Structure formats: C-alpha cells, structure tokens
Chains A and B, each alone.
Chain A
Amino acid sequence: MILIIDEWLWHDLAGENGEERQKEAFEFLMGILRICDRIAVMENSPFVNKFWDFSKVMDSKVIKLFKNGFLHNSDKCRLCEYTDSYTLPGIKPDDLYLYNLYCILEEERCVITTDRPLIEVFKKEGLKAYHRDEFLSDYLRKCSS
C-alpha cells in the first residue's frame, strides 16, 4: 500500500503536538520501514516544503531518518514530479497535491490526513482517505504484532 501523508507528520515529529504524538509519528515511520508499505512524496508540494521548513529546527536524527530511510529509498518512497493536472471541487488549493498524487499512482493507495472535511470530499468520490488518529492507532497495532 502507498500512503499519501500530509503535513501533520512534520508538526507531530517536531513535537509541536506533544510528546505522545511525536512518539507515534516516529513509530509510524519506523513501522513503514518494517512492513511492505511505502509513502508517496510529490516534489515541491506543501508536504516537502513543510519538511524543508522543519528541517532547520527539527532533530537532525529525524531528518536523517526521512532522508536516508525514505527519500533515498526506492523501496519505501515513490518520488513523483509536481503536477496539478487533476482538480476536484471542494479541495483547498494547498491540498490539491494529495488528490493529484492519488490520481497519478496506480497501486493501492490511501490518504492519511488530520483534515476531516478533506476526508469527506475524498470519500464522496469513492477514494480512500483516513484520519491520522484512527489510521495510526490501527497501523501501530499492526506493526507491533
């Protein structure tokens, strides 16, 4: 499964949302490395731009984990060129990259976000989208079993 994650990851990893969420976000990345899933990253998207902003303040070990474990890892990261060819009514311009990633990927995929209205828009179109909290709760249980 390809996981399309939005910017919550960086806020959580930076510890902005508390220690518990920081730990969960770290375990989530470690879990992806352990099992057969991977993430999709779009160049020049709000996701990577946020990573760039946080990379100046975040623990360098986290940066290293993302860079060496995902960005440079063809098994764990599908790196896609920027596109905004696909549009969907109801999606904010900043979130459009999530929909575009969804459209250009052919494998089984889902969006993981903290934006509930966005999840509704995706679900209306029959696309897979989950809230970060619910998804991680299941995912981390799956990873630890």
Chain B
Amino acid sequence: MLKKISIKNFRSIENQQIELAPLVLIYGPTASGKSSLLYSLLVAKNFLLNPNQQLNGFFNLIFQNLGGFNQVVFNKNKELKIELKISTDDGDYGIGFSAKGGEVFLRSYLNNSDVELKGRITFPYGLNQNFSKTVKIENKEFVINWNGITANISPKEPTAENQQIAREIAERLNRIPQVLRNIDIAPHRRGFFQPYYTPSSISHIPTAENEVATIIINDPDLAPRISVDLEEITGREFRLYTPPGTSTVYFQTVDKKSRTPSFLVNDGFGVNQLVYILAKIHRPEIKIILIEEPEIHLHPTVIRLFIRRICSIVKEEKKQIILVTHSETLVSSLLVAIKEGIISNQDVKLYLTQKENKATVFKEQKVNEKGQVEGGLSSFMEGELEDLKIMLGVGK
C-alpha cells in the first residue's frame, strides 16, 4: 500500500506531500489539480515499466498524452525538476525528471540502518548504470548494486546466513518501486461501445475498451466478481456469452426485476461504466486503483450504493482506492458509511484541493468516527449559499 506521495513541480502542484490511507477521496473545484495526483503515479509507473524512452514519453499516459515535459512542469518553467516520490511500509522511492536528465532515489530502513541510494541518469535510460553502496547490517557488510529500479545485494562474507539476509534485503528494496506496477486507473474516458469483443493485446496502462474487455474475457473469475457487485449496486447481473465456435464474446446485463437481458451497450451508460470500473478494481494483480469521477452518469442512489461497495472492497480485499470526485453525494455517502461502521475513519483520508495563486494545495480534512470532517463540506455549498442570500435578501 502507498503511505504517502510527494510531488514537486508537476502540472499545477508545486510542492505537496499527501498522506494516503486505504481509501482516499479527493474533491474540490473544477481545475483545482485533483487528477494531477493520479497522473503523477502513472508517470512514475511509466518510468518503472519503460525507462528506455525519451523524456517526453513518460508523460504519455496512453489514454491521455499530457504533452511532454515542457507542458507539465510547474509554471512551464523548464529549469525546474519534476520530482515524484512514493512511500511504502518498506521505504521510499523517487524519480526526478528535468530537461537535463533524471534522478532516481531509494531509501529503506533495514535493521536499524538507514539505506539510501541515489543516482543521476539520462533519458532514454537503458538500466545500464550501477549505483553501488556498501552497508553494514547487524555488523555484517553487504554491497548493494542498484540500477535505479532493481537492486542486487551480495554479502562481503558469502555464508549461507548472509546470503539469506541479502535475499531478504533485496526483496524489501525491490518491493518499494514494484508497488507502482500494481497501479491501474479508470480514467474519465471509459465504457464499452460495442456489443461484443474479441481478445486483443493489452498495454501497461490498459484503458481502451478493447483492452479492458480483453482483461474481462481472459480472467474467468472477473465477470462473476463484476456481476456480484453490479447486482448489489444496480440490481443487474453481468454475463459473457460466446457463440459456439467463435472467439467473439458478447457483454450482457440482466435486469433482475424485469428479467430482461440486453447487451451492455444498450443498458444505461452508468451501468456500462460501472462494469468498466469494477473490472479495474477486481483485476487480481492490481492493488491500487485510481478512479476519476466515478459518479459520472450515476443516479445519487447508485452513487451511495457504489461507495458502500467500495468501502467493503477496501476492507475485505485489501485494495487501495484513490477517488477523485465532484460529487457531494459521494463524499456525503462515504461519511455516512463511516458513521455506520462500514469503514473505519482510520482507513479513510479526505482531501479538499484548492488553488493558492497558481499552485494546487491538498488540504486534509480529518474525518471522525461520526462521519464528520474538519471544516465541513463547505466547498459544495458556496454557490447555493449565494443563491440563498439573494433569495432571502440577506445583506441588502
């Protein structure tokens, strides 16, 4: 699980440290920089999965090309360095991107020794550099060789016990950046627009409908899992149908009340995009799911049921979910779920994003066990209060 993310000079974020929890909800006004947190994680994932590309390539998220370094560096100041750092239980991992090249950073606390590795790289980076460091752990010396992503550790005295310690250290160090591999996103642009699909190849950020359809088709457990949740949220089952002798798979839903099956593409678009989101959430290899505005096309009653289901998934399946929303219903329903004990307030972080001058600020609003937040949900009522003042003639 991600414990914290630190972002410097990325899009509208100048310098922010954001503590995370199993469920993170980010809300705020339009264009206040909410999605930048999600995108920063995908840029870091891009580096991890393919460091051997030009600097601008890291900012192509496939579903959305952010336009290269010059377009995403804070204030379009090309002299600045974009820094993205993640913190996990095992330690910290960071990447720096600048016009002159990059930097990588890894830190972990191993048996009372603070191990820190860092190095400069140039893009494209073929993992051909080696940053070495000798560390003393339990009075034994180990040499760490790190290429910016993967570490190999060898003991100075290669006894069986020391080899075992070296393996454990390597595992721990390598686990830190690997967290990024297990991130997936359900971006704004999502859904299924065809009645049937045939399996296709999948990229490392699979967001196109064919890719997500392929994920569903290839995993025999996925459609039933989606169906269980979809039924709880919308009263519909989700089914796959493959005509004999073909590789074509039809996506269907069945309305439980009317017992009427239909192609998913003919069902409401809210149902359609819920299938997409649930497919992302239930991918077994994915541990961290980023969701942009899950409320799109959903009725408030469905939003309420959706967030309750999300709370259960976070709790029962140990997935970390980071949501970006404009929906008062979604935030309010989450707070009620906390009061009901569906999720603990300790497992939730709520952030209000605001722009201060040009920069995005993630303001944490602590949530108590009664579903109350520091400062209330004032951001959702500013416009309405102005209307009320006018209607009641207040301040005339």
Give A residues with C-beta under 8 Å from B.
19, 22-23, 26-27, 30, 33, 59, 61-62, 64-65, 67-77, 79
Bound Cα distance from A70 to B385, whole angstroms:
14
CA distance A79 to B373 in the complex (A): 12
Report the Cα distance A62→B391, complex, angstroms: 12
- Provide the residues of chain A in CB contact with B375, threshold 8 Å: 73, 75
Which of chain B's residues have a CB closer than 8 A to the CB of A26? 388, 392, 394
A69 near B388 with CB under 8 A, answer: no
Residues of B within 8 A of A69 (CB): 376-378, 381
B318 in contact (CB, < 8 A): no
Cβ contact of A22, chosen from B328, B335, B378, B392, cutoff 8 A: B392
CA distance A71 to B372 in the complex (A): 7
Taking a contact as CB atoms under 8 Å apart, the answer to whether B392 and A23 are in contact is: yes
7 smallest beta-carbon distances between A and B, as pairs: A73-B376, A68-B377, A74-B372, A61-B384, A23-B392, A61-B388, A79-B370
For B354-396 the 0/1 string (1 means CB < 8 A from A) is 0000000000001010111111111011001101100111100
Is A65's CB under 8 angstroms from B385's CB? yes
With A68-B332, A68-B380 already in contact, the answer to whether A62 and B388 are too (CB < 8 A) is yes
Among A67, A68, A75: residue with most chain B CB under 10 A: A68
Q: Are B381 and A65 in contact (CB-based, < 8 A)?
A: yes
CA distance A139 to B393 in the complex (A): 19
Across the interface, do A74 and B368 meet the contact criterion of CB distance under 8 Å?
A: yes
Once A64-B384, A77-B372, A79-B370 are accepted as A-B contacts, the answer to whether A23 and B332 lie under 8 Å apart by CB is no
Given A68-B378, A68-B380, do A30 and B385 touch, yes or no (CB 8 Å)? Answer: yes
- Minimal beta-carbon separation of B113 from chain A (angstroms): 41
With A and B bound together, what is the CA distance between A23 and B380 in angstroms?
21
Known: A65-B381, A65-B384, A68-B328. A74 touches B374 (CB 8 A): yes
In angstroms, how far is the closest chain B Cβ from the Cβ of A93?
A: 26
A70 to B377, CA, bound (A): 9
Residues of A within 8 A of B371 (CB): 72
Q: Are B385 and A61 in contact (CB under 8 A)?
A: yes
Query: A residues within 8 A CB of B378?
Result: 33, 68-69, 73
Interface contact A68-B372, CB-CB below 8 Å:
no
Q: Which residues of B contact A61 (CB under 8 A)?
A: 381, 384-385, 387-388, 391
Shortest distance between the CB of A114 and any CB in chain B (Å): 20
**Bound Cα distance from A23 to B393, whole angstroms:** 8
A-B contact pairs, 16 of them (CB 8 A): A19-B392, A23-B393, A26-B392, A62-B388, A64-B328, A64-B384, A65-B384, A65-B388, A67-B332, A69-B378, A72-B335, A72-B373, A73-B375, A74-B368, A75-B375, A75-B376
